[in-house]
């Protein structure tokens, strides 16, 4: 077998952890090779090594059987290795063309020669069906378009080995389909692709082979055709995973949480980022707001929870008007909130775990007397929660929250919020950045809360999560609710059209 790139026995250490331990990946010319692993499994580190951003402690890299030394990204480029990063590296106020030639400009006497470049870009764009307008500014482009500019950047530099770092995380389902077909065209032209992801569906659809990493170790390389999703997820997590959630039939009760005609004006642009949103959540149901990132979800949640401002409208919780109530009052009235950004809002990272678990309770009877906190009660309560919610830590209640893993931090927030016994639980992207095991746990907890008769408002970008968990789906697009759907009667395709704004219904909850 002829390998275009071989990474053999790579070891990369960071202070305190081994990110890659004796990992080998072999890329065949003209294949799409998926790199699968949970968060923190070492996928991105491995690719950063290949792209010359890190030097490995051990191991060698071979290209076409000859050992090469990649000391920086420029060297990687010369070797024909290109990378589309998860966060694009584009100059926002430059055009597509300017971004593509940036760093490899042709000049004559200090004057830019753009014509040849333009011809080449247009040719490439047509050849691979990228449909890029060379003179459009990046800031006016959709995320999918920007990604295609990044792809063009690699093609323009005549890279043969293309690395895609979680390219689908930011795309709508339609854009994902387009990306897949672009990737297929690329390999048809003899390019080789390494595709980092933790989504099994995408691997099944497009990849030829798949290398699985777990906790920095290479678990193995499998043929995608002959391996099931369940087998791959077991390799990734190290145990069997229940991908489908069992959900009993819902029996929604009375309306607990109601929002009427709520709007939010952006501080910067004075535009309405949330426009006239109305919704209802009943006891025992999960209402999900689906949408692509940046369509007003954050501002909506800030307004609902009292963190941010709102313009007009009315918010009712359990019959009480809480539109202008303080955050503390909302909490006491029965609102719990799993925030989108657990580091910015959810936790005080420099407090130990026990103090974070009482973040909304420290002032209550039993935890304080005459304003003096009873820390032995706090610790007792915290120990109880840690056990009940299986939060894994180094030193139990005394663990510094900052030192905990993302999944366990999220479990701690979940524990704290559920133990508030809320009337309404607002969960914003509760599984963002978590691995399959933690996602499974959090989904089960949310469904358990629903079955216990709680009202849950879920804001999610993950379509699988939306389809699996919700009893009712609202789609948000540019700050407006554009559709109310029943998950039993819709599918991911239709959802995607609403999310992209190309379809809308007038039926709103």
Note whether 355 and 347 are within 8 A (CB).
no
Six token digits for residue 45? 């580190």
Beta strands in 38-129 (DSSP E): 58-63, 66-68, 81-84, 107-108, 111-112
Q: Which stretch binds other proteins (CB under 8 A): 88-96, 144-152, 343-351, 384-392?
A: 343-351
Q: Which residues contact 409 (CB under 8 A, 6 or more apart)?
A: 342, 346, 347, 401
The answer to whether 170 and 293 have CB atoms below 8 angstroms apart is yes
Query: Any contact of residue 14 with other proteins (CB under 8 A)?
Result: no
Q: How far is the CB of 432 from other proteins (least distance, A)?
A: 16
Q: Is 359 in the site for other proteins (CB under 8 A)?
A: yes
- Contact flag: residue 380 with other proteins (CB under 8 A): no
DSSP code at position 120? H
Task: Using CB under 8 A, pick the residue from 64, 228, 326, 502 that binds other proteins.
Answer: 326
The yes or no reply on residue 333 touching other proteins (CB under 8 A) is: no
∠ CA 376-381-386, rounded to 5°: 120
Query: Which residue number, 316 or 403, has a Cβ lying nearer to other proteins?
Result: 403
Q: Does 328 bind other proteins (CB under 8 A)?
A: yes
Instruction: Name the segment binding other proteins (CB under 8 A); options: 68-76, 196-204, 234-242, 326-334.
Output: 326-334
93 dihedral zone (left: phi>0; alpha: psi -120 to 50; beta): alpha
Q: Which of residues 279-308 bind other proteins (CB under 8 A)?
A: 305, 307
Residue 362 touches other proteins, criterion: CB under 8 A: yes
Instruction: Select from 191, 214, 280, 355 the one that contacts other proteins (CB under 8 A).
Output: 355
Under the criterion CB under 8 A, does residue 66 sit at the interface with other proteins?
Answer: no
3-class DSSP state of 298: helix
**Selection from 466, 437, 16, 475 nearest residue 214 by Cα:** 437
Q: How many Cα atoms within 13 Å fall on the side-chain side of residue 484?
A: 11
Of the candidates 372, 488, 489, 507, which one interacts with other proteins according to CB under 8 A? Answer: 372
327 binds other proteins, rule: CB under 8 A? yes
Torsion angles phi and psi, residue 457, rounded to 5: -110, 115
Q: Which helix (H) or strand (E) holds 433?
A: none
The two tokens of residue 271 are: 């535009």
Query: In the chain, what is the straight-line distance between the N-terminal and C-terminal CA atoms, in Å?
Result: 58
Start-end of H helices in 95-171: 96-101, 115-127, 143-156
> What is d(CA 378, CA 380) in angstroms, rounded to the nearest whole number?
5
To the nearest whole angstrom, how small is the minimum distance from the Cβ of residue 343 to other proteins?
8
- Which residue in this structure is represented by tokens 């008769």? 453
Binding flag, residue 363, other proteins (CB under 8 A)? yes
User: Footprint of other proteins on residues 101-140 (CB under 8 A)?
Assistant: none
Q: Would you count residue 408 as binding other proteins (CB under 8 A)?
A: no
Contact residue for other proteins among 124, 373, 484, 492 (CB under 8 A):
373
Decide if residue 394 touches other proteins (CB under 8 A).
yes
| Separation CA 344–CA 364 (nearest Å) | 24
Beta carbon nearer to other proteins, 244 or 344: 344
DSSP structural state of residue 9: E
Please answer whether residues 456 and 281 qualify as being in contact, where contact means their C-beta atoms are separated by less than 8 angstroms. Answer: yes
Of 12 and 337, which has the nearer Cβ to other proteins? 337
Instruction: Determine the Cα–Cα distance for residues 142 and 509; give it in Å rounded to an integer.
Output: 29
Told to check if 349 binds other proteins by CB under 8 A, we report yes
- From the list 131-139, 218-226, 282-290, 394-402, the region that binds other proteins by CB under 8 A is 394-402
Taking contact as CB under 8 A, which single stretch among the options 109-117, 257-265, 323-331, 479-487 is the one that binds other proteins?
Answer: 323-331
Please, what is the minimum distance in Å from the beta carbon of residue 276 to other proteins?
26
Q: For residues 3 and 375, which CB has a smaller minimum distance to other proteins in the complex?
A: 375
In the three-class reduction of DSSP (H, G, I as helix; E, B as strand; rest coil), residue 330 is classed as helix
Is position 12 an interface residue for other proteins (rule: CB under 8 A)? Answer: no
Among 395, 421, 486, 509, binds other proteins (CB under 8 A): 395
> How many residues in the shown chain lie near other proteins by CB under 8 A?
33
Q: Mark the segment that binds other proteins (CB under 8 A) among 105-113, 238-246, 362-370, 482-490.
A: 362-370
By the rule CB under 8 A, 345 interacts with other proteins: yes
Contact window for other proteins (CB under 8 A) among 391-399, 456-464, 465-473, 492-500: 391-399
Whose CA is closest to 204, among 171, 186, 228? 228
Selected range binding other proteins among 138-146, 177-185, 350-358, 431-439, rule: CB under 8 A: 350-358
8 Å CB contact between 317 and 337: no
Residue 73 or residue 308: which is nearer to other proteins going by CB?
Answer: 308
Query: Pick from 441, 435, 443: which is nearest to 214 by CA?
Result: 435
Binding region for other proteins (CB under 8 A) out of 4-12, 313-321, 358-366, 500-508: 358-366
Nearer to other proteins, 321 or 350 (CB): 350
Q: In residues, how long is the chain? A: 509
**Nearest Cα to 406, choosing from 41, 12, 45?**
41
In the bound state with other proteins, the residue whose beta carbon lies nearer, of 70 and 378, is 378
Residues in contact with other proteins by CB under 8 A are 16, 305, 307, 326-331, 337, 339, 344-351, 355, 359-360, 362-363, 368, 371-373, 375, 394-395, 399, 403
């Amino acid at each position: 077998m002829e390998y275009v790139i071989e990474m053999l026995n790579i070891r990369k250490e960071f202070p305190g952890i081994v990110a890659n331990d004796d990992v080998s990946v072999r890329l065949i010319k003209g294949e799409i090779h998926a790199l699968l692993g949970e968060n923190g499994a070492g996928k991105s580190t491995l690719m950063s090594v290949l792209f010359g951003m890190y030097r490995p402690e051990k191991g060698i890299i071979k290209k076409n059987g000859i050992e090469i030394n990649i000391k920086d990204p420029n060297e990687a480029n010369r070797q024909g290795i290109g990378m589309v990063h998860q966060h694009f590296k584009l100059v926002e106020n430059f055009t597509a063309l300017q971004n593509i030639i940036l760093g490899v400009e042709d000049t004559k006497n200090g004057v830019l020669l753009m014509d040849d470049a333009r011809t080449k870009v247009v040719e490439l764009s047509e050849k691979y069906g990228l449909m890029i307008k060379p003179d459009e500014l990046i800031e006016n482009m959709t995320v999918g378009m920007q990604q295609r500019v990044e792809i063009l950047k690699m093609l323009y530099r005549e890279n043969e080995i293309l690395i895609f770092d979680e390219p689908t995380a930011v795309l709508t389902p339609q854009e994902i389909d387009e990306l897949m077909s672009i990737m297929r065209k690329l390999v048809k032209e003899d390019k080789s692709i390494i595709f980092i992801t933790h989504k099994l569906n995408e691997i099944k659809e497009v990849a030829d082979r798949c290398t699985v990493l777990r906790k920095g170790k290479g678990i193995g390389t499998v043929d995608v055709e002959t391996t099931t999703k369940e087998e791959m997820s077991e390799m990734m997590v190290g145990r069997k995973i229940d991908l489908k959630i069992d959900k009993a039939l819902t029996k929604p009760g009375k309306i607990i949480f109601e929002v009427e005609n709520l709007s939010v004006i952006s501080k910067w642009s004075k535009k309405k980022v949330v426009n006239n949103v109305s919704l209802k959540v009943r006891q025992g149901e999960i209402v999900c707001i689906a949408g692509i990132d940046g369509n007003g979800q954050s501002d909506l949640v800030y307004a609902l929870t009292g963190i941010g401002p709102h313009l007009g409208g009315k918010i009712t919780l359990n019959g009480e008007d809480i539109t202008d109530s303080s955050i503390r009052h909302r909490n006491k009235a029965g609102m719990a909130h799993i925030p989108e950004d657990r580091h910015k809002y959810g936790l005080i990272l420099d407090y130990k775990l026990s103090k974070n678990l009482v973040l909304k309770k420290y002032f209550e009877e039993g935890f304080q007397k005459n304003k003096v906190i009873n820390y032995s009660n706090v610790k007792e309560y915290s120990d109880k929660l840690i056990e009940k919610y299986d939060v894994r830590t180094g030193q139990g209640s005394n663990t510094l929250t900052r030192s905990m893993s993302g999944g366990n931090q999220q479990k701690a927030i979940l524990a704290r919020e559920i133990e508030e016994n809320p009337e309404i639980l607002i969960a914003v992207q509760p599984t963002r950045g978590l691995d399959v095991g933690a996602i499974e746990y959090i989904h089960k907890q949310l469904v358990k809360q629903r079955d216990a008769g709680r009202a849950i408002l879920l804001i999610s970008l993950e379509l699988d999560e939306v389809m699996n968990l919700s009893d009712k789906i609202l789609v948000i697009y540019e700050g407006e609710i554009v559709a109310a759907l029943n998950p039993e009667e819709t599918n991911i395709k239709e959802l995607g059209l609403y999310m992209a704004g190309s379809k809308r219904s007038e039926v709103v909850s």
